[in-house]
Amino acid sequence: MLTAASGFFFERDGRLFLVTSRHVLYDLRQGHLPERVEFELHRDASQLSNVATVSLPLYRDGIAAWRQAEDTGGEVDVAVLEIQGGTLPEGAAFNCFAPHNLVGPLERVEAGAPILVPGYPLGFYDTVHRLPVLRFGCIASSFGVRFQGQGYFLTDARTHRGSSGAPVVHRLDAPHDKLPWWLLGVHSSRMDMHNRDLDADESLGLGCAWYADVLMALTALHAPPLG
**3-state class of 164 per DSSP?**
coil
Q: Is residue 105 part of a domain?
A: yes
Q: Is residue 88 part of a domain?
A: yes
**3-state class of 195 per DSSP?**
coil
**107, pLDDT greater than 60:** yes
**156, pLDDT greater than 60:** yes
**1, pLDDT greater than 70:** no
Q: Is residue 1 part of a domain?
A: no
CATH number of the domain that residue 120 is part of: 2.40.10.10
| Confidence category of residue 65, pLDDT binned at 50, 70, 90 | very high
| pLDDT tens, position by position, 114-151 | 999 999 999 999 999 999 999 999 999 999 999 999 99
Q: Is residue 224 part of a domain?
A: no
Q: Is residue 22 part of a domain?
A: yes
Could you give the CA distance from residue 136 to residue 151 in angstroms, rounded to a whole number? 22
Q: Is residue 114 part of a domain?
A: yes
pTM over 0.95: no
Q: Is residue 3 part of a domain?
A: no
Structural domain tally of the chain?
A: 1
Could you give the CA distance from residue 152 to residue 13 in angstroms, rounded to a whole number? 26
Cα–Cα separations (whole angstroms), residue 168 to 69, 101, 153, 193, 211: 19, 12, 11, 22, 9
Could you give the CA distance from residue 163 to residue 117 in angstroms, rounded to a whole number? 8
**71, pLDDT greater than 90:** no
Domain that holds residue 164: 8-218
* Positions of E strands within 108-180: 114-119, 133-139, 152-157, 167-171
Q: Is residue 227 part of a domain?
A: no
Average pLDDT of the segment spanning 45-59:
94
